[in-house]
Structure 1
Amino acid sequence: MIVTTPRSSILVIGALASRRATLTEMLGETADFVVHTADSIATGAHILGAAACDAIIIDTREGTDLDVGAIPTLRRLAGPAALLAVLPMMEGDEAGRALRIGADRCLLLEQQDAAGLAATIRAVLTAGPRHRALREPHVMIVEDEPATAEILSRFMAWRGYRVTAVPNGRHALERLRGDPADIVITDLDMPMLDGESLIAELKSASNRPPVIVVTGNPISELTWSRLRRSVVELYLKPLNLREIGQTVDRIVGTRAA
């Protein structure tokens, strides 16, 4: 009697068709895997909704629309499946961050052939996922402009963060007492308690979160001299969301290390 081993189901997510094809070809050189592909997280979620996968591989290399910041979102979608991240050859510092925010293993494909990739996936599947109970980092957004608050909230949620949005500093302090944040993104000009006063209050907090300032008005040298030691970054509106996201990833990853 011939005994067959069930093949593992692998979902490859990558924005570039050529790179998805390369990964599919490498995985197809063994009889161990059934490979599905998706060009976006949304398409991947649809596939996962229709069929369970044993592992997900996300390609974050340069030239794709996906980056390491998408890992927490995929971690939630993956459930018990293993999550592997393909990183750029020269971005070794990204590996630690990827592992902190949900990846089970990082891959540098330039250093692996098909047999090595298959062996790595088998090892990860045997070990089981590292992040069954991953905690979502908490981002608080303090912004009185509804449109800006909505844009920032949606963007941070898409990057895998748990988001709380409040319209002023007073509400922020009330919420932070019961639900500490890993990072605060605040406007400066707000009613009731403005951003500068909020930052001053946070300086005395026992679990003081890092602060990013976003503002639609240029600030004076005097104001910046008061703020610069208490904030990690200042962004002027209109906002560069990608830069803000990368800063949040870096700061939250550092605090989690």
Structure 2
Amino acid sequence: MSFLTVQDVHHTYFTKDTAVTALSNISLTIEEGEFISFLGPSGCGKTTLLSIISSLLKPTQGTVLLENKPVSTSKNEIGYMLQQDYLFPWKTIEENVLLGLKLSKQLTEETKTTALSLLHQIGLQGVEKQLPKQLSGGMRQRVALVRTLATGPKLLMLDEPFSALDYQTKLKLEDLVSRTLDEFGKTAILVTHDIGEAIAMSDRVYLFASNPGRIHKIFSMPEELRILSPFEARNHEAYTSIFQMIWKELESLEPGKG
């Protein structure tokens, strides 16, 4: 039994005058502890699929099971980290971190202590009483990661969480997120436009084609890359050839190509 199973998912958006098929015939499985990326051109349905997997959106057709149960029954077991940190500007960092625990009625002295110790583990000592505006973009994304992990989700959805950051901060945060998820044994799905990020962070990369959104090709990363941190993986000799291979496939998906 796979940890996550997506079976024959189709999704169509209906308006008064039109019907647009966003996803067609999506099937995939993910094992516990794996890190998977969805990569592809804009409009290929990556974020729609993420919304379906997290049960924010009901597919027109198909099923999504987390540990063999419908995802609609697993809402507290799925965590989201987005491009924007969505920290409440009037709340302190501590209040922001504990918000998910409060809303899901999991806030106890024990869960509070665990969440705040995680804040320290990822290098944010002494910021608990500060407001988000006092922190840099990279620090705020780290706070968002702690808030996501605090509720103990089994599956993490990462929707372009590094794309608003400068390059150096992005590389540092890739390493931090990768290491933290490894330590906690978390399963994660990353949506990204960045080929390098997908290669450096993932066990497998799903390349999507558009109109309608569908899985075009699956790339499994070699063991020698998967055992490295994302930063080290970017400097490995295997990285360049995989990058070029995926780049060519992406180019072939452009209108008028391939």
- Decide which structure has the larger Cα Rg and report it: 1
Same fold (TM over 0.5): no
- TM-score, normalised to structure 1, is 0.31
Whichever structure has more strand as a proportion of its residues is 2
